[in-house]
Amino acid sequence: MVRHSSRIFLSQSALKNNVNFLRKKIGSHPVFSAVVKANAYGHGIAEMTKMLERCGVHHFSVASAHEAEEVLEHCSKSCHIMIMGILYNDDLEWAIENEIEFYVFDYDRLQKIKEIAKKVGKKAVVHIEVETGTNRTGMEPAAFSKTITWLKRNKEHVKFEGVCTHLGGAESFGNEFKTGPQIKRFHTILKELKRKNFTPPYRHMGCSAAALAYPETRLDLVRIGVATYGFWPSPDIYYAHLRDTGKKKDAPLKRIITWKTDVMDIKHVSAGEFIGYGTAFQAVHDMTIAVIPLGYSNGYSRGLSNKGYVLIRGKKAPIVGLINMNLFMVDISHIPGVAVNDEVVLLGKQKNNVIRVSSFTNRTQLLNNELLSRLPSAIPRKIVR
């Protein structure tokens, strides 16, 4: 098999550490639903599904039917898959046939769901998403009341599996003026369901940030995304953890991902010459540079031009010039003995140095999630201890 220009390694032990920490934090009652949308935040749905099952996670949340299909291909039959986003009418039959759970946030869609469930001969398993203040998807109160009446009448074909909402900004305590009322509104909805004696098995609103920082959002299920992969949702949530534990520093979450490539070529550049496209970098002295065989088409942000660095032989090699579509250059003048095919670490640890995702995001204004989710699925992923 021919080789890709880079490769990703995923640590099973780091994932196990994260799941154990999160379970301890959120308690034993809520179901841990691992959010594996966006190709498992760039880590790879196929690999992460298998790894998470080994950690005892059997519930997966995705953003589309396409992602659900990929999880279904790699998970065991005992797993549950929940679509939080787009599910086209053309795919409803597939979802119901395969017992895929899905959000409903449009009352008018329920009749179509019922018709297809009757045709398939299986119950559609739905989670009703309600609007509490994010103003994205979610039913307004009037539509929700009608929905409850409709679901009671159509239990034979549609199973009311869950009621949920999404908090708009739980990662920042500066948003408490918004998230606080959202949490209260959702609990008001739950009280209404209790009065009507029609509470579903799963009530859920907690994402990574909410589940970690707001105990009142840890209901029957929590949807854990970025924290699963070893990243704090924000500094606010990390500092809240330190406050709760009374520690000055702590590192309970471990990064799962390491990204590597190899030195493609080595060039000697004389003082005064420009490196790469345009005039973004001019050598002020004689330099030795290494050519790296990937670029922005491989998910390596162009915003790191003249800013980022890689690790070669355990030392930092700064990027010089513009990052191209599939090449960029680094300065190795200070690193003796570098040769073609030497290992290059783009993300992760090499000897005593480490490149974190924050090394990218602090320089480019990208979010952690944005950087990770841009990693192409074509890059081979390998599970390691």
CATH, residue 346: 2.40.37.10
292 and 229 assigned to the same domain = no
- DSSP3 helix / strand / coil % (the chain, rounded to 5): 35, 25, 35
Question: Does any domain span residue 277?
Answer: yes
95 and 236 assigned to the same domain:
yes
Measure the CA–CA gap between 5 and 380, rounded to whole angstroms. 10
Q: Same domain, yes or no, for 207 and 293?
A: no
Q: Does 367 fall in a domain?
A: no
Stated pTM of the model: 0.94
Percent of the chain with pLDDT over 90: 93
Decide if 383 is inside a domain: no
CB 338 within 8 A of CB 290: yes
Question: Given CA atoms 15, 17, 20, 25 in this order, what sign does their dihedral have?
Answer: negative
Residues paired with residue 352 on neighbouring β-strands, in sequence order: none
* Residue 189 and residue 229 in contact, taking contact as beta carbons nearer than 8 Å: no
| Shared domain check, 200 and 319 | no
Q: Based on the fold, state whether residues 211 and 342 are members of the same structural domain.
A: no
Cα-Cα-Cα-Cα torsion 365, 370, 372, 375, nearest 10 degrees, comes to -110
Pairwise CA distance, residues 305 & 182, whole Å: 41
Same domain as 232, residue 165: yes
Statement to judge: residues 220 and 318 lie in one domain: no
Q: What is the tens place of the pLDDT at every residue in 58-86? A: 999 999 999 999 999 999 999 999 999 99
pLDDT beyond 90 at 370:
no
Q: Are residues 37 and 66 in the same domain?
A: yes
Number of domains in the chain: 2
- Residue 348 belongs to some domain of the structure: yes
Phi, psi (degrees; rounded to nearest 5) at 253: -100, 135
pLDDT higher than threshold 70 for residue 364? no
Among left, alpha and beta (phi > 0; psi -120 to 50; other), residue 106 is beta
Q: What is the pLDDT of residues 171-198, one digit of tens each?
A: 999 999 999 999 999 999 999 999 999 9
For the segment 21-50, what is each residue's pLDDT rounded down to a tens digit? 999 999 999 999 999 999 999 999 999 999
Task: Return all residues near 344 (Cβ < 8 A) that are at least 6 apart.
Answer: 260, 261, 262, 263, 290, 292, 310, 311, 312, 317
CATH code for the domain in which residue 116 is found: 3.20.20.10
Averaged pLDDT score across all residues of the chain: 95
Question: Is the same domain home to 41 and 111?
Answer: yes
Q: Is residue 178 domain-resident?
A: yes
Q: What is the domain range of residue 307? A: 257-355
Q: Where are the alpha helices (DSSP H) in 42-104?
A: 45-54, 65-74, 92-97
Residue 377 lies in a domain: no
Domain end, chosen from 245, 272, 288, is at 245
In a domain, 170, yes or no: yes
For residue 250, what are its two tokens? Answer: 């702590």
The DSSP H or E segment spanning 193 is helix 176-195
Residues 262 and 198 in one domain: no
pLDDT classification of 371: cutoffs 50, 70, 90: confident
What was the pLDDT predicted at 50?
A: 98
Whether 72 is covered by a domain: the verdict is: yes
Sign of the C-alpha dihedral computed for residues 150, 135, 165 and 94 taken in this order? positive
Rounded to an integer, what distance in angstroms lies between the CA atom of residue 296 and that of residue 300? 5
Give the mean model confidence (pLDDT) for residues 148-168: 97
CA neighbor of 301 nearest in space, from 241, 252, 369, 371: 371
Residue-wise pLDDT tens digits, 105-116: 999 999 999 999
Give phi and psi for 262, each to the nearest 5.
Answer: -140, 155
- Do 230 and 329 belong to one domain? no
